[in-house]
Amino acid sequence: MNEKQDVKQVVCGFGNLYKAMRISKKNVVWKDSVASYVKNGLVNCYKLKKQHETGTYKIDDYTVFKVHEPKERDIVSTRIKDRVFQRSFCDNYLYKTVTRSFIHDNGACQIGKGTDFSRERLAHHLKEHYKENGLVGGILKCDISDYFGSTSHEVAKDALRKRIKDDWAMQEAARIIDSFTQGKDPAKGMGLGSQVTQIIQLAVLDGIDHMIKEELGIKHYVRYMDDFILIHQDIEYLRYCRERIRAELDKKGLRLSPKKTQVQPVTQPVHFLGFSFRLNENGRVTMRILPEKVSHERRKLRRLVGLAKAGVKTRAEVDKCYEAFRAHAKKGDNRGVVRKMDKFYENLWEEHQNETSHNQGTTHGGTSNARSPRG
């Protein structure tokens, strides 16, 4: 849209709502509620358009559930009707309006960015630091405790007021923010899983990004949501930066995680987005998958092969899950890890085959003579 177009008419236009529905149904059309909505998509998108025109639109109650990987978190699932509106709202107005002030190294939830982008940027900054300072200096790694759950609604709205000039758009964004009342404090907490709140949460820390880059003068800096890293030649200065960041977060009612926030020499490995990054003596950066991720994958594969043994899954389905892990691991320097995991995975299937052969032999009243897949 251009500046002369009416934001509400564009966002709530039938064509844009229908397009948003087609995007929103991806990977979730197996759900009965989604399938039913899409089946009558033309009618439902028209009804949604009319609700906004007449001022009768209301956000439905959320479904809240827990996920346990990579850590236990509450996920708020938005109903398909509201997801359609929020998709159109983001795609046709909110995303471009809010993200235009973001620094380049703010890497989460943006077009052309993501985890791979942020990992590459960290490796780039470590290499550039080496060119300028060798192995002198340190790293400040910061993490915010319960970022989504502890962000107040007023702080979130304030971050948007600085960027959104359209009254209707601000009103709808505020409505979405205030709809999250699942926590102990109804005026605090943003739903993790909503497209709109992800963009808003990026904006909440945008001012701190600019402070770090422009006021503190940190050249080598990268942030992925609430996980951010500063690299500088003076470790004492990084400690000062940590206190400045802590003070700014305190103004927003947020706090740094004591366990995950630390200052360390640049020669020590730093954990970021599932990998351990180390700057070596020759200026090369190695990126190895964290051991806990490997251990988790081993447990997961053992469970999946067990499900295949029970007939719940097929070998092809389990292979697909394992291939996803291999592709992830191969993004870094993990050839040895991948070789060991390949062997572990094949051994799981050999154990499964041996158990199956033994059970078949027992069923037929004798010892099985079946050969293993490798002969």
> How high is the pLDDT of residue 363?
54
> How high is the pLDDT of residue 64?
77
How many other CB atoms are there within 10 angstroms of residue 184's CB atom? 7
Q: Residue 175 and residue 204: Cα distance in Å, rounded? A: 17
- Segment among 164-168, 182-186, 235-239, 292-296 with least mean pLDDT: 182-186
Residue 62's pLDDT band (cuts 50, 70, 90): confident
pLDDT in tens, 142-179: 999 999 999 999 999 999 999 999 999 999 999 999 99
> Does the pLDDT value for residue 359 go beyond 70?
no
Residue 116's pLDDT band (cuts 50, 70, 90): very high
Residues 65-69, mean pLDDT to the nearest whole number: 67
Higher-pLDDT residue of 193, 282? 282
> How high is the pLDDT of residue 72?
65
Strands 227-232, 138-143: pairing is antiparallel
> How high is the pLDDT of residue 361?
58
Residues 84-106, mean pLDDT to the nearest whole number: 97
What is the sign of the dihedral through the CA atoms of 210, 216, 221 and 223?
negative
Residues 255-278, mean pLDDT to the nearest whole number: 97
Query: Residues 348, 353, 354, 356: what is their CA dihedral angle, to the nearest 10 degrees?
Result: 120
Nearest to 12 by CA among 174, 177, 169: 169
Could you give the C-alpha distances from 110 to 118, 136, 200, 331, in angstroms and in order? 11, 33, 12, 20
pLDDT in tens, 293-330: 999 999 999 999 999 999 999 999 999 999 999 999 99
> How high is the pLDDT of residue 362?
57
Residue 357's pLDDT band (cuts 50, 70, 90): low
> How high is the pLDDT of residue 65?
73
Share of the chain above pLDDT 70, in %: 89
> Does the pLDDT value for residue 20 go beyond 70?
yes
pLDDT in tens, 129-145: 999 999 999 999 999 99
> How high is the pLDDT of residue 368?
40
Total residue count of the chain as it appears in this document: 375
CA 215 to chain centroid, in Å, comes to: 28
Residue 192's pLDDT band (cuts 50, 70, 90): confident
Q: Average model confidence (pLDDT) for the chain?
A: 91
Contact (Cβ atoms closer than 8 angstroms) between residue 228 and residue 238: no
Q: Residue 283 and residue 277: Cα distance in Å, rounded? A: 12
Residues 37-51, mean pLDDT to the nearest whole number: 97
> How high is the pLDDT of residue 296?
95
> How high is the pLDDT of residue 314?
94
Dihedrals phi, psi of 231, to nearest 5 degrees = -125, 130
What HEC string does the chain produce?
CCCCCCHHHHHCCHHHHHHHHHHHCCCCCCCHHHHHHHHCHHHHHHHHHHHHHHCCCCCCCCEEEEECCCCCEEEEECCHHHHHHHHHHHHHHHHHHHHCCCCCCECCCCCCCCHHHHHHHHHHHHHHHHHHHCCCCEEEEEEECCHHHHCEHHHHHHHHHCCCCCHHHHHHHHHHHHCCCCCCCCCECCCCCCHHHHHHHHHHCHHHHHHHHHHCCCCEEEEECCEEEEEECCHHHHHHHHHHHHHHHHHCCCCECCCCCEEEECCCCEEECCEEEEECCCCCEEEEECHHHHHHHHHHHHHHHHHHHCCCCCHHHHHHHHHHHHHHHCCCCCHHHHHHHHHHHHHHHHHHHHHHHHHHHHHCCCCCCCCCCCC
> Does the pLDDT value for residue 369 go beyond 50?
no
> Does the pLDDT value for residue 371 go beyond 90?
no
CA 83 to chain centroid, in Å, comes to: 18
